[in-house]
Structure 1
């Protein structure tokens, strides 16, 4: 565990195996399938490095998809000691609720598409759960890059138009219906579109 890692923070990471042609599909026309797959793997590795700098490995669960037995998953788990678990069938909301509800207490959940995620941001979100029932990192495209809850409720994820710019607004509506306070410590951006690749290339902390 990093000297700066929180001994209490629990983190779930949704991760697709780097299967050529099945990841970063919106980037394939611009990058090609092979380069898009390599980029996906680099983003996943970066996300896990941020996770390990924030939480102890035994409190991190990597929820796998596409190929649960992919060698990358096993290699990373063996090296770092976090737990592997298969994502269940169902839409994104079902899978996120399942991952959060598997935590024995409050937890955070992230994907691997946010290149600006940092340990400091994760810790801010974890701290927010002391005064809010749920927390999000809204993304510029109208979705979110992180969600966390003291105790997950399937209603928070029900009827959401996943993959659209309405996700964050609809999530606020679900939280209000539950009577929950939804904290949003910062705005971030995801890497989903060709123009995002140029934005990433301009950063000093990530080389393509």
Structure 2
């Protein structure tokens, strides 16, 4: 299977990233956590790239002036694409469209705060795109953590209210309305709140370490909680 894989991320700047965690963490700790997430997903995607005959990697980033902040976090194998658009939907669609225009391959787009997401999820997503038009990875907050498509489908991004609990439902409805066949992945959660960070900490303690274990994330979480 040949495809493009797009990682969307804002630059890990203190006070500008993972701000919902500032209820319990300092702004710099939030930025350190984001940097660790990026390092671990970078390694995971490079491992995935080694499995497939062609997997083009993209980093869709913002702000454009802070591209240098990814230098030591994201490998040069990732083609840099600055985010464009007035809202998250526009930025996601433009990232998908840019990757498709460059590679002419099915596109999978995901975020940076999923350190425990297994490589099997991406393998299933790639396999799903062989039989279906789109692949959706539902998240437990009413959104999704991954969206794959054979070609850019603007209708899936063309609505208001990004970030609320109806995004997944409306995406499914739009897909159905345009007769797009969907494949659903297992549900997963990202890390936006302190409760979710506590859940992640517990899981990191209780799972076995392997090639794709998020060691950078574990290290920074241990450091953060050593002072709490």
TM-score, normalised relative to structure 2: 0.82
The secondary structure found in structure 1 opposite 2:48 is coil
Q: Given the alignment, which residue of 60, 81, 94 partners 2:90? A: 94
Flag structure 2 segments of 5+ consecutive residues without an equivalent.
205-212, 222-228
Equivalent residues in 2 for 1:41-60, closer than 5 Å: 41-55=35-49, 59-60=56-57
The secondary structure found in structure 1 opposite 2:131 is coil
Q: Given the alignment, which residue of 81, 86, 103 partners 1:85? A: 81
Residue 191 of structure 1 deviates from its aligned partner by 0.5
Q: Deviations over 1:61-102 (max 9, x none)?
A: 10111254343323345x542211111132111111111122
Matched residues in 1 for 2:27 and 2:63: separation? 16
> 1 or 2, which has the higher helix percentage?
2
Does the CA contact (< 8 Å) of 1:16 and 1:65 recur in 2?
Answer: yes
Flag structure 1 segments of 5+ consecutive residues without an equivalent.
1-5
Highest relative contact order (Cα 8 Å, sep 6+), 1 or 2? Answer: 2
Does the CA contact (< 8 Å) of 1:10 and 1:55 recur in 2?
Answer: no
Matched residues in 2 for 1:180 and 1:160: separation? 21
Residue 115 of structure 1 deviates from its aligned partner by 2.4
Tell me which stretches of 4 or more aligned residues in structure 1 moved more than 4 Å: none
**Aligned equivalent of 1:3:** none
Does the CA contact (< 8 Å) of 1:116 and 1:188 recur in 2?
Answer: no
- Cα distance, 1:76–1:198 mapped onto 2, change above 3 Å: closer
The secondary structure found in structure 1 opposite 2:49 is coil
Matched residues in 1 for 2:32 and 2:165: separation? 27
Does the CA contact (< 8 Å) of 2:5 and 2:57 recur in 1?
Answer: yes
Residue 32 of structure 1 deviates from its aligned partner by 1.4
RMSD: 1.8
**Aligned equivalent of 2:5:** 11
- Cα distance, 1:75–1:116 mapped onto 2, change above 3 Å: closer
**Aligned equivalent of 2:224:** none
